[in-house]
Structure 1
Amino acid sequence: MIIPFRIAAAGALALLALAEPAFAAAPLVAHRAVYELKLRSTRGSTQVEQVRGRIVYEFKGDSCGGYALNFRQVTEIASEGGDTNVSDLRSKTWEDGAAKSFKFAAQNFLNQKLDRDTDGHAERASDGVNVSTTKPEKTSNAFDKKTLFPTEHLIRIIEAAQRGESLLEASVYDGSEAGDKSFDTLSVIGKRSDAPEPGLEEPARVKELVGQPHWPVTISYFQQDKAEDGERTPDYEMSFELYANGVSRALRIDYGEFILDGDLKELEFLPASKACP
Structure 2
Amino acid sequence: MRFLAVASGLSIVLLMPALAETAKPSVQLAPHRAVYDLSLLRAGNSNGVENARGRIAMEFGGDACDGYTLKYRQVTILNSSESGSNTVDIQTATYETGDGRSMHFKSTSLRQGLIKDGEVDGDAKLTPQGTLNVDLKQPKRAAFASNGETVFPTEHLKRLIEAGRRGDTTLAVKVYDGSNKGDKVYDTLGLIGRKIEPGAAAASLEDPARQESLASVPRWPVTISYYEEGTADRVPVYTISFELYENGISRALKLDYGDFALKGDLKSLDVQAPSPCQR
Partners in 2 of 1:253 and 1:113 — Cα distance? 24
Do the aligned residues in 1 keep the contact of 2:30 with 2:247 (CA within 8 Å)? yes
Identity of aligned residues (%): 43
The residue type paired with residue 217 of structure 2 is: Q
The residue type paired with residue 160 of structure 1 is: A
**Mean Cα deviation higher: 118-127 or 265-274:** 265-274
Do the aligned residues in 2 keep the contact of 1:126 with 1:145 (CA within 8 Å)? no
Aligned to 1:120: 122
Q: Cα offset for 1:187? A: 0.3
Distance 1:221 1:108, change over 3 A: same
Partners in 1 of 2:273 and 2:215 — Cα distance? 19
Deviations 1:76-108 (A, max 9, x none): 001122511100000000001101111100000
Aligned to 1:58: 59
SS in structure 2 at match of 1:154: helix
Partners in 2 of 1:17 and 1:158 — Cα distance? 13
Which residues of structure 1 form unaligned runs of 5+?
Answer: 1-15
SS in structure 2 at match of 1:48: coil
Distance 1:25 1:95, change over 3 A: farther
Aligned to 2:213: 208
Partners in 2 of 1:20 and 1:222 — Cα distance? 24
Q: Cα offset for 1:124? A: 1.4
Aligned to 1:165: 168
Do the aligned residues in 2 keep the contact of 1:62 with 1:276 (CA within 8 Å)? no
RMSD value, Cα: 2.0
The residue type paired with residue 75 of structure 2 is: V
Q: 1:101-140 counterparts in 2 under 5 A? A: 101-111=102-112, 112-127=114-129, 128-140=131-143
SS in structure 2 at match of 1:261: strand
Partners in 2 of 1:89 and 1:212 — Cα distance? 31
Partners in 1 of 2:68 and 2:124 — Cα distance? 15
Deviations 1:124-172 (A, max 9, x none): 1245110000000011111224101000000000000000000000000
Q: Cα offset for 1:236? A: 1.1
Q: Cα offset for 1:185? A: 0.3
Partners in 1 of 2:126 and 2:204 — Cα distance? 43
Q: 1:136-151 counterparts in 2 under 5 A? A: 136-151=139-154
Partners in 2 of 1:149 and 1:44 — Cα distance? 34
| Structure holding more helix per residue | 2
Q: 1:211-230 counterparts in 2 under 5 A? A: 211-224=216-229, 226=231, 228=233
The residue type paired with residue 199 of structure 1 is: S
Partners in 1 of 2:278 and 2:167 — Cα distance? 29
Aligned to 1:27: 28
Which residues of structure 2 form unaligned runs of 5+?
Answer: 8-24
Deviations 1:175-213 (A, max 9, x none): 011111010000000010113423210011111111211
- 1:233 aligned onto 2:235: yes
SS in structure 2 at match of 1:114: strand
Partners in 1 of 2:264 and 2:212 — Cα distance? 22
Normalization by structure 2: what TM-score? 0.87
Deviations 1:221-259 (A, max 9, x none): 00116553xxx1000110001000000000001111111
Aligned to 1:186: 189
SS in structure 2 at match of 1:157: helix
Partners in 2 of 1:265 and 1:227 — Cα distance? 39
SS in structure 2 at match of 1:208: helix
Aligned to 1:10: none
- 1:268 aligned onto 2:267: no
Question: Which protein shows a greater Rg?
Answer: 2
SS in structure 1 at match of 2:214: coil
Partners in 2 of 1:144 and 1:102 — Cα distance? 17
Distance 1:28 1:209, change over 3 A: same
